[in-house]
Structure 1
Amino acid sequence: MNYLSSLYAENVPHRAVAVYRYLKDRANRDGTCYPAIGTIAKDLKLSRRTVQRAIADLEKTGYLQKEQRWRENGGKSSLLFTVK
């Protein structure tokens, strides 16, 4: 739980801690994962908007980076999350 100590010290909202732990648990060795916001919301029993706010909180504090992925035909794909 060492990775959470600094997160708790930042005083981020509990929603951000829950989303961070969820993403950290699903990340590969490189710290990346790409679950849909709807999937995160469903699994954590939160609203989609709450998950979006949590992601914004984590980006603002530097614990998470998100990147839009694109399909070959130019359409949007899922977000790529990099957990730090």
Structure 2
Amino acid sequence: MGYFKEIYRMDLPHRAKTVYMYLADRADRDGKCYPSIGTMARELNLSRRTIERAVTDLVQAGLLTKEQRWRENGGKSSLLYTLKCRLPPE
């Protein structure tokens, strides 16, 4: 729980804090995960647009990077998210 104190203190909209905690819960040891916008929206009971805004908030705050992933056939896949803050030990 102490891990998120830093996030709680930041001047971020609640949507960004919620999405950050969601991503942190799903990230690997390197802080990487790749849930789709639709999956996050469904599991957090938020709109796709709210998720997109939250991701933008986190990127602008320097807490997250996102990278487009591609399928072998050249089509888009889900985004790869990398958390920029220290993750709690597993």
TM-score class, shorter: over 0.9
Identity between Structure 1 and Structure 2 (%): 63
> RMSD between aligned alpha carbons?
1.0
Structure 2 partner of 1:27: 27
Separation in 2, partners of 1:33, 1:39? 12
Does structure 1 residue 74 correspond to structure 2 residue 62? no
For 1:22 and 1:65, the matched residues in 2 are separated by 15
Report the AA paired with residue 33 of structure 1.
Answer: C
Match of 1:2?
2
Q: Which amino acid aligns with 1:55?
A: V
Matched, 1:65 2:61: no
- Take 1:73 and 1:46, find their aligned partners in 2: how far apart are those partners? 31
SS of residue matched to 2:51: helix
Deviation per residue, 1:15-71 (Å, 9 max, x gap): 000000000000011110000000000000000000000000000001111000011
* Distance across 1 between alignment mates of 2:3 and 2:57: 17
SS of structure 2 residue aligned to 1:7: helix
Hey, what does 1:18 align to over in structure 2? 18
2:87 is matched with: none
Cα displacement (A) at 1:82: 0.5
CA displacement at 1:10 relative to structure 2: 2.2
Equivalence for 2:38: 38
Determine which structure has the larger helix proportion and give its number. 1
Measure, in 1, the Cα distance between the counterparts of 2:61 and 2:36. 21
Partner of 1:83: 83
